[in-house]
Structure 1
Amino acid sequence: MLTYGLLGYPLLLPAAIGGDFNVKNSTGEPSTIESLPDRELYIRWYQIASFMPVMKFIHNPNSYDDPRIVEIARNITRFRELKVSPLLKKYSRVALDTGLPIIRPLWMIDANDPSCHAVEDEFSIGDKLIVAPILYSGRKSRNIYLPTGVWKDGIDGSLHKGGRWINDYRVQENETPFFENVPSIMNI
C-alpha cells in the first residue's frame, strides 16, 4: 500500500481480510473444505484493513460462529464510519489534487527524523492519524514511534509528545493503536 501510494496509486484494493488464497489438498488440487484463517489473525487483519481506502472480504465475521468476532467487527465498522472514513475522503481529495498518497510512511510527516525512516510497521492517513497495528500472533504490546508534534492516543485519550518512542504499549485484542495529531495551538 505504501509503495503503490508513493508511485501515484492512492486507491488500491489491499488483500482480502482473512487472505486471498485457495486451500489446496495433498495432491495440489483446490480443496473442497474451506478453512477459516486463525481467529486472532482475522481480527488483526480486519483492524488494519479498517484504516485502508478499500476493504474486501473473503470470509465475513459470521463465518466464525463466534459472537465475540461479530461484536469486534461491528465495533471496527462503527469506528471506521465515524473516525476513519472522513479522513479517507479528505485525503482522497488531497491525493487527486496533489498526488500525495492517502496512506503514507511516517517519513512523510517528518522527513528530517531518522526514526521516521526506520519505522516499517506503522503508517499514517495523511498527516493526521498514525496507525501502529499489531502484526504478530499472540502479541499484546509493541513499541510505537511518534513523529514530532503532540499526539492524542486513540484508545485512552492521553497526550504524547512526539519525536520519541512509546515502549511496551499495551493493547487488547479488540484494540488497534492509533494516534491523532493535535492542532498546533495545543502543542506543548
Structure 2
Amino acid sequence: MQFSIPPWLYDKEVVEIALKFTELHESLVAPLLLELAGEVTDTGDPIIRPIWWISPRDEATHRIDSQFLIGDTLMVAPVLEMGKQERDVYLPAGKWRSYKGELFEKTPVLLTDYPVDLDEVAYFLWVS
C-alpha cells in the first residue's frame, strides 16, 4: 500500500481514514495478494483481474471498467467521482457478500446508486 502524500500532512479525519484503510489492507487485501502471488507462477493468471474474468459469457461484464477483482473472490468497486457517495455496482452471477454484511444471491444484479461513505471502499466477497 502506498500514499502519494503522507496522511499526517492533513487533518485528523484524513489520518483516521488512512488508518482504517491500512488496517483493511493488512487484514483482507495483503493476505490475498500473498496467496495469489504464490499461484501466479503456476497458473499465469493475473492477480488483479477484470470482472469478465469470472463471468466471460456475461456481456455486461465486458463493459465495466471501474470495478475489478483481486483473484476470483474479492470484487472492488471504488467511488471514482469527486464528491460522490454512491455508485452503481454490477454483481455477476454468484453469491456475494458486501463489506456491510449484505448477502446478494439473486445475481447478476445492478445495484443502482449503492451508498458508499467517504471513509469506505465498496467491496464484495464471493461466497461459495
TM-score, normalised to structure 1's length?
A: 0.65
For residue 171 of structure 1, the aligned residue among 105, 116, 127 is: 116
Q: Give the structure with higher Rg (CA).
A: 1
Whole-angstrom distance in 2 between the partners of 1:126 and 1:116: 16
Q: Residue type matched to 1:144 in 2?
A: V
Structure 2: gaps of 5 or more residues: none
Whole-angstrom distance in 1 between the partners of 2:122 and 2:51: 15
How far 1:57 moved relative to its partner?
Answer: 3.2
2:5 aligns to what SS in structure 1? coil
The reply to whether residue 57 of structure 1 matches residue 7 of structure 2 is no
Whole-angstrom distance in 1 between the partners of 2:3 and 2:92: 33
Q: Residues 88, 71 of structure 1: CA spacing in aligned structure 2 closer, same or farther, 3 A cutoff?
A: same
> Aligned residue pairs: how many?
127
Per-residue displacement from partner, 1:6-52 (whole Å, max 9, x unpaired)? xxxxxxxxxxxxxxxxxxxxxxxxxxxxxxxxxxxxxxxxxxxxxxx
Q: What's the counterpart of residue 72 of structure 1?
A: 17
How far 1:171 moved relative to its partner?
Answer: 0.9
Identity of aligned residues (%): 40
How far 1:86 moved relative to its partner?
Answer: 1.0
Higher strand share: 2
Q: What's the counterpart of residue 133 of structure 1?
A: 78
The reply to whether residue 122 of structure 1 matches residue 67 of structure 2 is yes
Q: What's the counterpart of residue 8 of structure 1?
A: none
How far 1:96 moved relative to its partner?
Answer: 2.0
1:85 aligns to what SS in structure 2? helix
Q: What's the counterpart of residue 94 of structure 1?
A: 39
For residue 158 of structure 1, the aligned residue among 86, 94, 102 is: 102
Whole-angstrom distance in 1 between the partners of 2:59 and 2:42: 29
Whole-angstrom distance in 1 between the partners of 2:117 and 2:63: 26
Whole-angstrom distance in 2 between the partners of 1:150 and 1:102: 21
TM-score, normalised to structure 2's length?
A: 0.95
Per-residue displacement from partner, 1:104-143 (whole Å, max 9, x unpaired)? 0001011000011111100000101000000010111110
Whole-angstrom distance in 2 between the partners of 1:71 and 1:96: 37
1:124 aligns to what SS in structure 2? strand
Whole-angstrom distance in 1 between the partners of 2:6 and 2:42: 35
Whole-angstrom distance in 2 between the partners of 1:62 and 1:174: 16
2:88 aligns to what SS in structure 1? strand
Per-residue displacement from partner, 1:42-87 (whole Å, max 9, x unpaired)? xxxxxxxxxxxxx3333110111x0000011111111111111111
Q: What's the counterpart of residue 18 of structure 1?
A: none
